[in-house]
């Protein structure tokens, strides 16, 4: 390098502390910084910023690629920092050295790049600044600092530094050190030492001709070390590496017992039972003294085989059998969903007061299961490699529906539903069209949404070996497929109803999705991903939500191994919820958790887990501690349904055994009293779940035949048996109801109808015949109205009628209408007096209702209903205020063209009127009560908090019209639209009726009263116009008008 001195310029930045005796083999530890010799002094590389930020190492005399570094380092002292400006002719190799250092410290940042001359010209070496140095070489500046120096003998040589004799001497030392670490049970360190010895032997064997004497001697020295290395890998759990190394030993030593035994143990752990048995049989054949030890492993293998079979059975149980239990649930608005093998049946309990048959009044809808296939969308086709799989993998792929639903050459397997759960009635989507047919639509596919998020994590696997490709295929499907789910409670955010779906997946994952819809368009449903949580459990089998705060609660999770955990989840109103504080309740593996539920008893919370025929009770106090644990068995019969209410837990088994458990907690300890509830279920049927109505008076049980004699080939039947609790009097329940609403008592009304028809009696038996209707509240009048309607329905079934101790339905209908109208008019008067302006719709409807009240008075309805002071006072006060008001011009009837003057047109004809306002209804959207058939104008609900029917207190269904139909209807509100056939219809006396089918409803609205002659109505309206109600004395009286 003496000739190059003029090409290297040195400047000392920091003097060293000691000179160094440089010689071949001296190891130098140094830091460096490389800069361009330009105005900006651009830094190219800095060892303090590369990788682990450790000093570089260079051994003199080993022909380092960048020779100039050896030269400049030998010009320095220990601890010295110096700057060297080096001519470009000496640093031509620097870009390649720099690339190697960068790639070592950033292995994932840049892919391997070929450095042949053609590639260098076209693609470079992968770094722009280094490519520029290759194209335009220039002087470089190095700032070097020698940190430490080690002379030969002071450090352990790397293998590449050793000569042949040094390598031969090193091998037994490494083996001895490895044995010492193995006895210390440091298997990782021992394996590293064995691997180093094997590497030295491999390097020596490469210099010899295979199978020559020298090569064979080295190989014989290598095999025992390879066996030791395999044992370390077995202890570390790297079973495939163990199999590979033992197979390598057996390649040259076919009777090596240790290799067979260790490979057998690895085969067991990697679950290849066939190969494991073959290796253990070979062990017993080669060494009779090891028969007992081999038999011990065979016994362990058999036990693991049984355990795995049980695990696989549990894993597939949810896929093939889990849907048959807990297979029916009840919604908030009395709709039962029944989970069958071919789809979902939605049975809407629809009480029909006119139904004179002894059958449950309901409307049935069938919803087929979605055909969406996960394996069709994971971007990996099983059909391309399934025939290359081992037999066990082929069997597994065929057995699991979610893996093989698109497999060629096999019969298509219809997807099976696992579970169906109602959300809150504010969220679930049903649409009533202009034909009044209820439609259930798939508005959101959570599985598809999960798949969209997971696709970015899929590994490119087209070049994988077939087994790895199959494992990747299973991992993709398992990461997406939900196996259980539940809804959270409903909460409001920005005036939108929100709820959350918690989807349980395999391997303990929970994905959380917020679902929300707009009040302005109920057809649209949106979802947002709130997060994912990995529990400590295995494959999840069920989840259950328990609300603890407005935007949070507890999520109970169970898995197929019987373990249970509870997660605390908060911030459901945020873009990302928080899941933490996972509490383990059961870590012992036993039976799969089929169902979880939570409820309160006094100040305690009780967690109930259903596992086959067992009920596990956990009592939790206010601080979250478990104060008691109890297990209750139900006659060793599989549980198919549970229901809790008021410290009583009802339990149904698959044979139809129905039990009621009364629960009580004293000082943190739970006690259970069991009582059998007799049910008459025909032999040959098994149960799949049950529902209990709101007042606990009706119990519906889902049944299916389990004998071939009970089924017909080619047909599948769903049986839903209804049972009545004879300890509950439905009439008494109705009369004692102080809630002010009928919404939760329609099961009592339907039960009363069925009982009266079967027993051929009137529903009013037990009611005081001298009841004072004048003093009854609106709610009590509604109850009496319904009982009167039922009385008319069962009248034909009663064999002997001695007396009729209830007022006619039509009179009670009028009394309820009077109460509702007075209540609404008072509300509107208050709005006016508070300074608010009423809408034209409200003013028009107000005049119609005032006219109706006058018609009631003049027609003598109050006299016929035998009501007095209270009704008269209410009507009088309302009419006194109304007489002082000025109303706008009355609108015209859309059908006859005449101005509206009351509840009916003159001459009378059929039309549709709002039950809340008496305003005519012509175009949808509108609302209809599916029990009584009443209609309501959509503007009427602008002044109400809910959409409940004024007579039945249940939410009315919104009937929508498709935009295409709505746009096709063009009407001018200022023109008469009198039908040309209207006069003919009146002459012929056409009578429209309500027609009802089990699935489809078609409604034509008409008045319930007998039509009166036009002349009589003209006389009534004339007298009403002259009516003056200034006299409010108790003797106020109006003569009735005869029909």
| Res. 609: pLDDT tops 90 | yes
CA–CA separation, 245 vs 249, rounded Å?
6
Q: What is the Cβ-side half-sphere exposure of residue 243, based on CA atoms within 13 angstroms?
A: 16
Those residues with Cβ within 8 angstroms of residue 155's Cβ, 6 or more apart along the chain or in another chain: 27
Sequence-ordered list of residues with C-beta below 8 angstroms from that of 694, at least 6 positions apart, any chain: 334, 744, 745, 747
**Residue 1009, SS3 per DSSP:** coil
User: Positive or negative CA dihedral for 775, 777, 782, 786?
Assistant: negative
Assign residue 700 a region (left: φ > 0; alpha: ψ between -120 and 50; beta: otherwise). Answer: beta
Q: What is the pTM of this model?
A: 0.62
Torsion 14-19-22-27 (CA) sign: negative
Tokens read off for 881: 């205020």
| Contact predicate 851/902, CB 8 Å | yes
CA Rg value for the chain: 43
pLDDT of residue 7: 86
CB 772, CB 752: distance < 8 Å: no
- In order, the DSSP letters of 333-384 are TSEEEEE-SSEEEEEEE---TT--SSS--EEEEEEEPP---STTSSS--GGG
Q: With a cut of 70, say whether residue 331 has pLDDT above it.
A: yes
Is 813 within 8 Å of 807 (Cβ atoms)? no
Prior bond of 907 cis (ω within 30°) = yes
Pairing of strands 719-724, 335-339: unpaired
pLDDT of residue 958: 80
Q: From CA 542, how far away is CA 527, in angstroms rounded?
A: 22
**CB-CB contact of 493 with 516 (8 Å):** yes
Q: Is 507 exposed, middle or buried (0-12, 13-18, 19+ CB in 10 A)?
A: middle
Mean predicted confidence (pLDDT) in 138-156: 88
Return the CATH fold of 2-150. Chitinase A; domain 3 (3.10.50)
Distance in angstroms (rounded) separating the CA atoms of residues 625 and 604: 10
519 has pLDDT over 90: no
* C-alpha to C-alpha distance for 322 and 483, rounded to whole angstroms: 10
Question: Cβ(925)–Cβ(959) under 8 Å?
Answer: yes
Tell me which of 84-93, 271-280, 384-393 is least confident: 384-393
> What are the phi and psi torsion angles at 534 (to 5°)?
-100, 110
Report which of residues 740 and 983 the model is more confident about.
740
What does the alpha-carbon distance between residue 389 and residue 142 come to, in Å, rounded to a whole number?
58
Q: How many CB atoms lie within 10 A of CB 116?
A: 7
Q: pLDDT band at 968, cuts 50/70/90?
A: low
The listed range with the strongest mean pLDDT (199-213, 214-228, 987-1001) is: 214-228
pLDDT digits (tens, 9 = 90+) for 214-253: 899 899 999 999 999 999 999 988 888 899 999 999 999 9
Q: What pLDDT digit, counting tens, does each position of 440-482 carry?
A: 767 678 888 888 888 777 776 666 677 777 778 888 888 888 8
Domain ranges in the chain?
2-150, 811-1025
Task: Return the pLDDT at 810.
Answer: 92
d(CA 337, CA 723): 17
- pLDDT tens per residue across span 121-137: 556 788 888 888 888 89
Asked whether the predicted pLDDT for residue 5 surpasses 60, the reply is no
Q: What is the pLDDT of residue 608?
A: 94
What is the pLDDT, as a whole number, of residue 157? 67
Task: Answer left, alpha or beta for residue 571, where phi above 0 means left and psi between -120 and 50 means alpha.
Answer: left
- Buried/exposed 560-573: b ≥16 CB within 10 Å, e otherwise: bbbbbbbbbbbebb
Tell me the pLDDT of the chain averaged across its residues.
80
210 token code pair: 């295979």
The four Cα atoms 774, 776, 777, 779 give a dihedral, to 10 degrees, of: -120
Are the C-beta atoms of residues 795 and 801 closer than 8 Å to each other? yes
* Whole-number Å distance between alpha carbons of 545 and 157: 63
Least confident of 47-56, 184-193, 691-700, 900-909: 900-909
Q: Report the interhelical angle of 187-206 vs 213-236 (nearest 10°).
A: 160
Mean predicted confidence (pLDDT) in 972-995 = 38
Q: Is 256 left (phi over 0), alpha (psi -120 to 50) or beta?
A: beta
- Residue 855: what pLDDT? 86
Digit-coded pLDDT (tens) for 866-887: 887 889 888 888 888 888 888 8
How many residues in total does the chain contain? Answer: 1043
SS3 568: strand
**Across 337-364, average pLDDT:** 82
Q: Could you tell me which residue, 1019 or 453, shows the higher pLDDT?
A: 453
pLDDT at 341 over 80: no
pLDDT value at 729 more than 60? yes
Say if CB 644 and CB 655 are below 8 A apart: no
């Amino acid at each position: 390098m003496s000739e190059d001195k003029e090409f290297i310029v040195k400047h000392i930045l920091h003097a060293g502390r000691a000179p160094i005796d440089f010689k071949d083999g001296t190891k130098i530890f140094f830091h460096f910084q490389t800069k361009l010799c330009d105005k900006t002094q651009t830094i190219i590389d800095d060892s303090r910023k590369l990788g682990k930020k450790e000093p570089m190492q260079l051994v003199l005399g080993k022909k380092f690629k960048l020779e100039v570094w050896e030269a400049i380092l030998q010009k320095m002292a220990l601890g010295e920092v110096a700057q060297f400006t080096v001519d470009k002719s000496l640093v031509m190799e620097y870009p390649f050295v720099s690339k190697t250092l960068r790639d070592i410290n950033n292995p994932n940042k840049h892919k391997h790049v070929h450095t042949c001359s053609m590639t260098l010209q076209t693609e470079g070496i992968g770094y722009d600044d280094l490519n520029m140095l290759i194209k335009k070489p220039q002087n470089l500046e190095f700032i070097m600092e020698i940190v430490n120096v080690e002379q030969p003998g002071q450090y352990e040589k790397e293998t590449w530094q050793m000569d042949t004799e040094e390598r031969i001497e090193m091998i037994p030392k490494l083996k001895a050190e490895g044995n010492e670490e193995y006895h210390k049970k440091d298997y990782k360190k021992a394996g590293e030492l064995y691997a180093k010895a094997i590497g030295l032997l491999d390097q020596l064997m490469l210099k010899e001709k295979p199978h020559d004497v020298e090569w064979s001697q080295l190989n014989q020295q290598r095999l025992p070390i390879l066996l030791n290395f395999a044992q370390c890998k077995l202890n570390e759990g790297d079973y495939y590496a163990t199999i590979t190394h033992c197979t390598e030993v057996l390649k040259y030593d076919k009777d090596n017992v240790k290799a067979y035994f260790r490979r057998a143990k690895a085969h067991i752990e990697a679950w290849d039972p066939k190969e494991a048995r073959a290796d253990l049989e070979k062990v017993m054949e080669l060494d009779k003294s090891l028969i007992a030890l081999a038999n011990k492993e065979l016994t362990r293998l058999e036990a693991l085989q049984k355990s795995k079979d049980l695990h696989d059975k549990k894993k597939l149980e949810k896929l093939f059998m889990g849907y048959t239990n807990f297979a029916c649930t009840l919604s908030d608005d009395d709709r039962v969903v029944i989970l069958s093998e071919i789809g979902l049946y939605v049975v809407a309990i629809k009480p029909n007061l006119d139904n004179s048959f002894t059958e449950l009044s309901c409307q049935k809808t069938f919803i087929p299961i979605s055909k969406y296939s996960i394996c069709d969308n994971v971007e990996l086709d099983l059909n391309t490699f399934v025939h290359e799989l081992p037999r066990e993998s082929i069997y597994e792929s065929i057995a699991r529906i979610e893996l093989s639903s698109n497999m060629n050459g096999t019969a298509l397997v219809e997807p099976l539903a696992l579970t169906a759960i109602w959300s809150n009635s504010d969220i679930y989507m049903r649409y009533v069209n202009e034909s009044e047919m209820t439609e259930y639509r798939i508005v959101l596919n959570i599985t598809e949404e999960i798949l969209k998020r997971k696709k970015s994590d899929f590994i490119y696997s087209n070049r994988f070996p077939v087994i790895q490709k199959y494992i990747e295929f299973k991992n993709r499907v398992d990461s997406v497929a939900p196996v259980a789910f539940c809804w959270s409670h409903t909460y409001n955010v920005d005036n939108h109803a929100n709820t959350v779906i918690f989807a349980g997946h395999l391997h303990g994952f929970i994905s959380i999705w917020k679902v929300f819809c707009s009040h302005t368009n109920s057809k649209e449903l949106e979802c947002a991903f709130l997060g994912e949580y990995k529990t400590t459990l295995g494959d999840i089998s069920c989840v259950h939500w328990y609300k603890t705060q407005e935007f949070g609660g507890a999520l109970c999770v169970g898995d197929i191994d019987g373990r249970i955990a509870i997660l605390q989840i908060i911030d459901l109103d945020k873009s990302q919820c928080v899941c933490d504080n996972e509490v383990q309740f059961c870590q012992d593996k036993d039976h799969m958790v089929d169902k979880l539920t939570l409820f309160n008893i006094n100040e305690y919370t009780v967690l109930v887990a259903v596992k086959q025929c067992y009920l596990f009770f956990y009592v939790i106090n206010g601080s979250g501690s478990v104060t008691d644990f109890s297990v209750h068995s139900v006659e060793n019969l599989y549980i198919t349904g549970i229901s809790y209410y008021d410290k009583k837990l009802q339990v149904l088994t698959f044979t139809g055994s129905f039990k009621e458990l009364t629960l009580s907690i004293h000082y943190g300890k739970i006690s259970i009293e069991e009582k059998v509830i007799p049910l008459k279920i025909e032999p040959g049927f098994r149960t799949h779940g049950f529902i209990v109505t709101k007042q606990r008076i009706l119990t519906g049980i889902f049944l299916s035949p389990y004998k071939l004699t009970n089924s017909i080939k080619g047909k599948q039947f769903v049986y839903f048996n209804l049972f009545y609790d004879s300890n509950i009097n439905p009439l008494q329940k109705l009369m004692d109801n102080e809630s002010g609403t009928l919404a939760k008592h329609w099961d009592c009304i339907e039960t009363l109808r069925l009982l009266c028809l079967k027993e051929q009696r009137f529903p009013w038996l037990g009611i005081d015949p001298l009841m004072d209707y004048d003093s009854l509240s609106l709610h009590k009048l509604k109850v009496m109205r319904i009982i009167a309607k039922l009385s008319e329905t069962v009248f034909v079934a009663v064999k002997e009628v001695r007396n009729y101790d209830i007022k006619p339905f039509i009179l009670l209908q009028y009394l309820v209408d009077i109460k509702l109208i007075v209540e609404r008019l008072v509300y509107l008067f208050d709005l006016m007096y508070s300074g608010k302006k009423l809408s034209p719709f409200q003013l028009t409807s107000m005049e119609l209702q005032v006219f109706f009240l006058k018609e009631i008075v003049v027609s003598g309805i109050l006299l016929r209903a035998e009501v007095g002071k209270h009704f008269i006072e209410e009507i009088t006060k309302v009419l006194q205020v109304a007489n002082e008001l000025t109303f706008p011009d009355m609108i015209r009837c859309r059908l006859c063209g005449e101005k509206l003057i009351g509840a009916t047109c003159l001459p009378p004809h059929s039309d549709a009127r709002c039950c809340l306002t008496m305003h005519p209804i012509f175009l949808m959207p509108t609302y209809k009560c599916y029990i009584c058939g009443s209609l309501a104008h959509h503007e009427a609900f602008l002044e109400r908090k809910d959409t409940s029917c004024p007579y039945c207190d249940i939410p009315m269904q919104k009937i929508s019209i498709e935009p295409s139909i709505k746009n096709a209807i063009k009407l001018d509100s200022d023109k008469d639209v009198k039908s040309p056939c209207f006069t003919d219809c009146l002459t012929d006396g056409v009578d429209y009726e309500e027609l009802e089918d089990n699935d489809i409803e078609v409604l034509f609205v008409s008045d319930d009263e007998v039509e009166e002659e036009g002349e009589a109505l003209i006389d009534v309206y004339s007298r009403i116009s002259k009516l003056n109600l200034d006299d409010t004395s108790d003797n106020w009286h109006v003569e009735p008008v005869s029909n």
